[in-house]
Structure 1
Amino acid sequence: MKFVAVTSCPTGIAHTYMAAEALETTGKAGGHEVVVETQGSAGSTPLDPAVIAAADGVIFAADLEVKDRERFAGKPFVDVGVKKAVHDPSGVLDQAVAAVEAGPVAAPATAGTPAASGGPRPATKVDPNAGVGTRIRQWLMTGVSYMIPFVAAGGIMIALGFMVAQAAWGETGAVEVTQVPLQELISGFSITSGQDWAALLFQTGNAAFAFLVPVLSGFIAYGIADRPGLVPGFVGGSVSVLVGAGFLGGLVTGFVAGFLALWISRWKVPKGVRGVMPVVVIPLLSSLITGFLMFVVIGQPIANLMEGLTSWLNGLSGSNLVLMGALLGAMMGFDLGGPINKVAYTFAVTGLATEGLSAGAVQYQIMAAVMAAGMVAPLGMALATFVRKRLFTHAEQENGKAAVLLGLSFISEGAIPFAAADPWRVIVSSLVGSSVTGALTMAVGSDLRAPHGGVWVLPLISNPLGFLLAVAVGTVVTAGLVVLLKSLKPSPLVQAEQAADAAAAPVPA
C-alpha cells in the first residue's frame, strides 16, 4: 500500500524526525511505501498533491494540530501521538492498513487549519477526552514548547555576552556588562568595541529572556481556552514578573487565565454582543480578573514561595548539591524526553531566569548538571553498539552512529530507538549513568548560563574539562551496564537476526 504521513512533536526537534524515519523504514520492510511530511520547528515542505492523491491512506503521528489537514479529506486515516510512531511503528502501520481495508471515510476534522479557524494560528493538540492528569500535562507542555526557543536564544546570547565581557573587561566583565547604560549602547555603539558587543549580546538576550514567563503563561492559557486565552495569559505572566512571582506565578496565571477565558467564552449572550466578545469582552474581563488576583490576592504569597525556593537553592552545598545532581540526572535519563525528563529540564531553565544571580550560582550549576546528564543516554548507547556490536540489531548499530551527534547536541531522544526495542535494560542503564553524571557535574562545580547546545556551547561552561569528564564517566557507566545486562540475556530480536544471517551466509566449498 501507499501511505502519506505527517509527524510533529511539541518542540519540533527529535521525535518529529525519529517518527518519520521509523515509519519510512518499517513501511519499506513491510512492502509499503510511506512518504512523510515533518512539521518540525524549522517549518515543513508540504507533500506533493499528486503523492497525496495516489496514497491509499494517511497516518497522523502528531502531538500538535496538523497544518492544512483538509488536504487529506476523504482518505482513510489513523491519528496517533508521535511517540507511538517512534516506539511501535509496525503497530501504527497495521492500524493504517486496517483503516484502508475498512474503506473511505468522511473528511477528518480540520480544527487548527486556516479554513477552520479563520486564519493561521499557533498549533497545539490537547485531547478533550483524556484524563485530567493527561490534559494538565498537555496544557503544560503547550506552554513549555513555545517557551523553550525564547529561553534558548536568550540564554545563549546572555552567556555569550558574559564570555565576550570577560575578554573585553577582564575578570570584572560579568559585572561591568550589566551596568552599561542602555542609552549609551544605543547612541554610542562601536562595531570594533568588544565591550559594546558584550553589552549588545547581554541586552538582547535579556530582552528574549523577558518573554519566558509571559509566553509560558500565555500558551498554557491558549492550550486550555484556545485564542481567547492568549491575552489574559500573557498579561498574567507579565504581572507575575512584576510582582516577583516568577515562573511559579506564570504557571498559576496560565491556568487561571485559561479557565477564566474558557468560562467567559461560553456565556450565553445576545446576538448583537457576540461579535465583540472575542475582541473586547473576553480579553478585557479575563485580563482584569487575572491581574486583580495576581496583584491583590495570590501574587505576593507566590513571590514569597519563589524567594524561599531561591534561598533554599542558594543554601545548598557539598553533598546536598551532589544528591540534587544525582536526582536531576536520574530524571533526565528515565524517560528520555518524556514528562519526567521535561520536568527536570524546565526546572533548570526557569532557574536561569532568577534575577540577581552571580557567577557560580546554584541555578547555573543545576543547568550544567541537567545538560550533562541529558547527553549521556544516547552517547552511552552509541558506545555500547561500537564495543559490542553482536548484542545489537543492524538497525540499532546504525542508530548508534546517529546517536553520537544527538548526544553531543544534548538531544536525549537519540536513545529512544534503543529503549523502544529493549525498555527495561536500556532505561535502567540510562538512569544509572545519567545519575552518576549529574552528581559528578555538581561535584566538579561546572556551571552554565546557556539552556541548550551540548558540546557546542562548551566555551560557555565553567570548568569545561570537569564537565566533559562527568559526561564521559556517565557514558561509560551506561554503556557498561547495558552491555552487561544484554550479555546476561541476549535479545530475542538479535538472536533471530543472527540466525537469519548465518542461514543466508554462503557455505564454504
Structure 2
Amino acid sequence: MSEQIITTSTVNLDVDAGGDPSSVINHLAENLGAAGRTGDPAELARAALAREAKSATGLPGGIAIPHARAASVSQASLAMARLSPKVDFGAPDGPADLVFLIAAPEGGAAEHMKLLSSLARALVRPDFVASLRAAATDDEVVALVDDAINPPAAGTPGPTAPTAAAATAATAATAAAATSKAAGTPAGRDTAPAGQAGADKPRSIVAITACPTGIAHTYMAADALKYAAERAGVDFHVEPQGSSGTTPFTPDVIAGADAVIFATDVGVKGKNRFHGKPVIESGVKRAINEPDAMIAEALAAADNPHAAVVRAGESGDAAAGATERGGLSLGKQVQQALMTGVSYMIPFVAAGGLLIALGFLLAGYQIGNKNIDKTMTDGAYIALHNSLWDLPAGGLGTYLGAVSYAIGTLAMGMLVPALAGYIAFAIADRPGIAPGFVAGLVSVAVGASFIGGLVGGLAAGVICLWISRIPLPQWARGLQPVVIIPLFGSLIIGAIMFMFLGKPLAWLTTAMNNGLSHMTGGSAIVLGIVLGLMMCVDLGGPVNKAAYLFATTGLAIGGAAQLEIMAAVMCAGMVPPLAMALASTVLRPKLFTEPERENGKAAWLLGASFISEGAIPFAATDPLRVIPSMMAGGALSGALIMAFDVQLRAPHGGVFVFFAMNAWWWFLVALAAGTALSAVCVVAAKQWGRNPEHTEVAPLETVAA
C-alpha cells in the first residue's frame, strides 16, 4: 500500500487515556482524526462503542482490539495505546494494557481487510505481544506492526510459533485425555499422543471461524486454534470466513477430517459440506480464549459415536443452524430461532408500514377504509382499477396515495408468513423455509395471526428437522432438502394448523385483541408503563425487540388500541438518546467526559429518529446509573401516550412521521416529560455517586500530548 496503516502519530506509549473503555476508544479515535484518517472521530467512536456493547473486545494476555467500520474513515487505519494504568475491556484474565483501535472504511476493500486481519493474527503470538510491551519508541511499534501485516517474502525467516508452545503442550494433552474420558471414549482405544489416529497417521480437524464484522476475531480465532493443534500434534485446516475473503476447503480436506469445529458468532457458509462429521460449536471468543480445550473436545468427539454431527439439509446461512448443539440449552435455541424470525420480519414491517403511512399522507386516512360496496375509497381497489391515464376522483395525489397504500398493505400481509418462515429457517435451515411460510399463511387464513406465526414457525422447524434425520437410501438423499422436506413439512404443518392448532390460537388472538380494544383508564396506562420499561431496559436488545414486535404486528391488525401501543413504543424508545443528549449537553455537561458530550450532540438526531441505540455509549460505561434512569422516563412516556389516546400508524421514523399521528402535540408532551424525567434522574444519579477526579477531563489533545 502507498500509505502506512499505522504511523507514529497514532501510537501512544505509556499513557493514561481514562479509566474506562469509552475514554480509551474516544482517545484513539481522536488520534486517528488528528492524523487525517477519519473526518468524524465521534462517529468512529460511537461505532466502536456500539460494537463493544454487543461483545467485549478484551482478550487474554492484557490485549483489547476495539474495532468498527465507519463512513468517515478514509482508509484502513490503526491507533495503538500502551496504557498505564490498565483498563478493563472485559477479558477473562483482567484489564488490558495494549489496545489497538481498528478503523475500517464502511466499504473497506479486500486489501485493507487483509492488512487488518494480519495484525489480529499477530496478536495471538506471545513473541509479538512481548515486543510491543518492550518497545521504547513509537517508531519501534510502527516497525513491529508493519512486519506483522507485511510478512517477509518466501524464503525469508519469519515469525515463529508461540514460545509458550512447549510449556502448554503437556496441559493440552492432559486436557485432551480428560475430555476423551468424559465424553466416553471407547475402552481399549490406542493411547498414543492426543493427535495420533494410529502409529503413522495424525488425526485431522477442520475449523470454520467467523465473527459479525469479519475483521479481527475471525482471524485471531483461526490462528489460536492452529497453534493449539500444533501443540496437540493434530493435522489442522481452518477456513476463516472474514472480510478479507474466504478460500474454501477442498473436498479431500473435508473428506479426511475426523471432526469439525465451528467457532462462529454468525451463520456458517456452506455447512452442508460437513454432513455427518462430528462437530464442536462455540462462539468465536471461546476459540481465542480456550483453543486447547476446543481441540481436545474435537478429538474426543471424533471417537464418540454419540457425538453431535452436522445434519443433512444445512446450508449454514441461518444464525442458528440445525446442527445438534450440545452446548446450548433448549431455551437458548428457541430464543435464537425467534430472534432470527424477528430480524427477517422487520424489513417487511418497516417497508410496509412506512408505505401505508405515505399513502395516508398523500390521500388521507379514508384511503384505508375497507368498504364492501367499493365506493372508491379503498386504496387497494383504486390501485387495481385505475391508472395514470384513468385517474380516480381525487386526482393524481389520491391515486399515488392509493398505490403506496396498496403496496404497503401487501408488504404488511407478509409479516406473519415471513416471521414463521424464518423461525423455521433458523431451526431447519433452507428446507424449513417453505413449510414455515405455509404455517404463517395458514395462521393468517384461520385468524391466528402473530401468535399462530410464532407457534407455527417453531412447529414447522421442528418437523422439518425431524424429517431431515430420517435415514434414506443414497439415491434419495439429494432430493431430501429440495423436495422431500419441503413437501412433507408443508403437508404436516399445514394439516396441524388447520385441524388442531389454528382455531385455539385464533381464539387466543381474538381474546387478546378484544382485551386490548377494551383497555381504558388504568389498565391501558399500566400497559403503557410495561411497554416503556421494555423499550428502555436493554436499548435495542431482545427485550426491546419483543416490545417493538408486539407493537408492529398490531399495525397489521388495526384498531385504536393497537395504534396506541405503536405510539407508546415509539415514544418510549426515543427517550433514552434524547435524555442523554439533554443531560450531557445542556443540564450538567461537567458530569460527563468530553467524548460523552460529543456523543450527546449526535444523540439529539438519533433520538429524534427513534434510534434507541444512541444511548448505548452512555449505558456501556455506566449501566447502573444510566439504564434505570432511562427506564423511568420510558415508563412515564408510555403511560402518558396511553392516557392521551395518541395513535400512530407508522412503525418507525420518530418526529418525521408526525403526519401519521392523530394528536402529535400530545405525543410531544409525553416525549418531553419522559426525556426530562430520565435526564434529571441520570444527572442526580451521577451527582450522587460521582468520582470528583472525573467530573471534568482535559481536552483529548492535551492527554495525547
| TM-score bracket, shorter-length normalisation | 0.7 to 0.9
Query: Structure 1 residues 75, 162: closer, same or farther in 2, change over 3 A?
Result: closer
User: Which residue in 1 is equivalent to 2:238?
Assistant: 107
Match for residue 77 of structure 1 among 215, 221, 224: 221
User: What letter matches 1:183 in structure 2?
Assistant: L
User: In 1, distance between residues paired with 2:530 and 2:667?
Assistant: 17
Q: Matches of residues 234-313 of structure 1 in structure 2 within 5 Å? A: 234-313=437-516
User: 1:408 Cα deviation (Å)?
Assistant: 1.1
Q: For the residues of structure 1 that align with 2:366 and 2:363, how far apart are their CA atoms?
A: 8
Alignment equivalent of 1:423, drawn from 623, 626, 629: 623
The 8 Å contact of residues 331 and 341 in structure 1, kept in 2 or not, is answered as yes
1:474 corresponds, among 671, 674, 677, to 674
Gaps of 5+ in 1: 4-13, 79-95
The equivalent residue for 2:115 is 51
What is the rounded CA distance, in whole Å, between the counterparts of 2:480 and 2:385 in structure 1? 45
For residue 185 of structure 1, the aligned residue among 386, 396, 405 is 386
Task: Report the alpha carbon displacement of residue 134 of structure 1 after superposing the two structures with TM.
Answer: 2.1
1:139 equivalenced with 2:342 (yes/no): no
| Contact residue 271 and residue 316 of structure 2 kept, 8 A | no
What's the offset of the Cα at 1:452?
Answer: 0.8
Deviation at 1:338, TM superposition (A): 1.5
1:323 counterpart residue number: 526
For 1:372, the equivalent position in structure 2 comes to 571
Pick from 320, 334, 337 the counterpart of residue 540 of structure 2.
337
Matched residue, 1:384 = 583
Aligned mates of 1:199, 1:58 — CA distance in 2: 59
- 1:209: Cα distance to partner? 0.6
Q: How many angstroms does 1:174 deviate by? A: 4.2
Deviation at 1:48, TM superposition (A): 2.9
Match of 2:693? 495
Q: Does 320-329 or 120-129 show the bigger shift?
A: 120-129
Amino acid at match of 2:539: L
Find out whether 1:149 has 2:347 as its counterpart: yes
Decide which moves more: 461-470 or 157-166: 157-166
CA contact (8 A) 1:177 1:195 kept: no
Instruction: Name the CA distance, whole Å, in 2 between partners of 1:452 and 1:99.
Output: 43
Higher mean alpha-carbon deviation, 151-160 vs 363-372, is at 151-160
Whole-angstrom distance in 2 between the partners of 1:32 and 1:307: 55
Q: For the residues of structure 2 that align with 1:207 and 1:437, how far apart are their CA atoms?
A: 32
CA distance in structure 1 between the partners assigned to 2:590 and 2:611 by the alignment: 26
Cα distance in structure 2, aligned partners of 1:45 and 1:211: 36
Distance 1:179 1:132, change over 3 A: closer
1:405 matched to 2:536: no
Q: Distance in 1 between matches of 2:493 and 2:46?
A: 35
Secondary structure of residue in 1 paired with 2:238: coil
Confirm or deny: 8 A CA contact 2:594 2:697 kept in the other structure. Answer: no
The change in CA–CA distance for 1:214 and 1:17 in structure 2 (over 3 A counts) is: farther
Which of residues 90, 94, 102 in structure 2 aligns to 1:35?
Answer: 102
- 1:9-43 Cα shifts (integer Å, max 9, x gaps): xxxxx99775458824896445654435699xxx9
Q: Are the counterparts in 2 of residues 377 and 407 from structure 1 also a CA contact under 8 Å?
A: yes
Secondary structure of the 1:48 match is helix
CA distance in 1, matches of 2:355, 2:491: 34
**Deviates most, 103-112 or 235-244:** 103-112
Gap runs ≥5 in structure 2:
7-44, 54-65, 69-77, 83-97, 124-208, 231-235, 242-261, 274-313, 370-376
Distance 1:317 1:418, change over 3 A: same
Q: Which residue of 2 aligns with 1:199?
A: 402
Contact 1:74 1:108 in 2 (8 A): no
Q: Is 2:354–2:651's contact at 8 Å kept on the other side of the alignment?
A: yes
Offset at 1:501?
7.4
What is the match of residue 432 of structure 1?
Answer: 632
Q: Given that residues 446 and 466 in structure 1 are in contact (C-alpha distance below 8 angstroms), is that contact kept between their aligned partners in structure 2?
A: yes
The Cα offsets for residues 441-461 of structure 1, whole Å up to 9 and x where unpaired, read as 112221111111111212212
Distance 1:133 1:430, change over 3 A: same
Structure 1 residue 74: deviation in Å? Answer: 9.3
TM superposition shift of 1:339? 1.7
Q: Which amino acid aligns with 1:371?
A: M
RMSD: 3.7
Asked whether the 8 Å contact 2:572–2:635 carries over to 1, the reply is yes
Moved more, 126-135 or 144-153: 126-135
The answer to whether the 8 Å contact 2:383/2:399 transfers is no
Whether the aligned pair in 2 keeps the contact of 1:65 and 1:123 (CA below 8 Å) is no
DSSP-derived class of the 1:55 partner:
helix
Residues 221 and 233 in structure 1, CA contact (< 8 A), matched pair in contact too: yes
Say yes or no: does 1:465 pair with 2:660: no
Task: Please tell me whether the aligned partners of residues 253 and 290 of structure 1 are also in contact (alpha carbons under 8 angstroms).
Answer: yes
Q: Contact 1:155–1:205 (CA<8 Å) still a contact in 2?
A: yes
Q: Is the 8 A contact 1:75 1:107 kept in 2?
A: no
Q: Which range moves more in the overlay, 474-483 or 105-114?
A: 105-114
Change (3 A) 1:16 1:282: farther
| 1:433 CA drift (Å) | 0.5
The equivalent of 1:165 in structure 2 is 363
Answer whether contact 2:104 2:112 (CA < 8 A) is retained: no
Give the secondary structure class of the aligned counterpart of 1:152.
Answer: helix
How high is the TM-score relative to the length of structure 1? Answer: 0.80
2:168 corresponds to: none
Question: Partner residue of 1:217?
Answer: 420
User: Which fold has the larger relative contact order, with Cα–Cα distance below 8 Å and residues 6 or more apart in sequence?
Assistant: 1
Amino acid at match of 1:185: N
> Which of 481, 484, 487 lines up with 2:684 in the alignment?
484
Larger Rg: 2
Q: How many residues align?
A: 457
1:324, distance to aligned residue in structure 2 (A)? 1.2
CA displacement 1:120-155 (0-9 Å, x = unmatched): 985524693222222221111100001001001101
Q: Larger deviation: 186-195 or 332-341? A: 186-195
Whole-angstrom CA distance in 2 between matches of 1:131 and 1:267: 24
Q: Is 1:455 the equivalent of 2:655? A: yes
Q: Kindly tell me: are residues 255 and 462 of structure 1, through their superposed partners in 2, closer, same or farther at Cα, counting changes over 3 Å?
A: same
Contact 1:56–1:100 (CA under 8 A) maintained in structure 2: no
Alignment partners' CA distance in 1, 2:620 and 2:120: 28
CA distance in 1, matches of 2:643, 2:518: 15
- Using the size of structure 2 for normalisation, the TM-score is 0.59
Cα distance change, pair 67–468 in 1 and its aligned pair in 2 (3 A):
closer
Could you give the per-residue CA deviations for residues 235-277 of structure 1, whole angstroms, max 9, x where no partner exists? 1111111111101110011101101111111111110110111
CA distance in 1, matches of 2:228, 2:618: 33
- The alpha carbon displacement at 1:185 in A equals 3.1
Identity over aligned residues, as a percent? 42
In structure 2, the residue matched to 1:81 is none
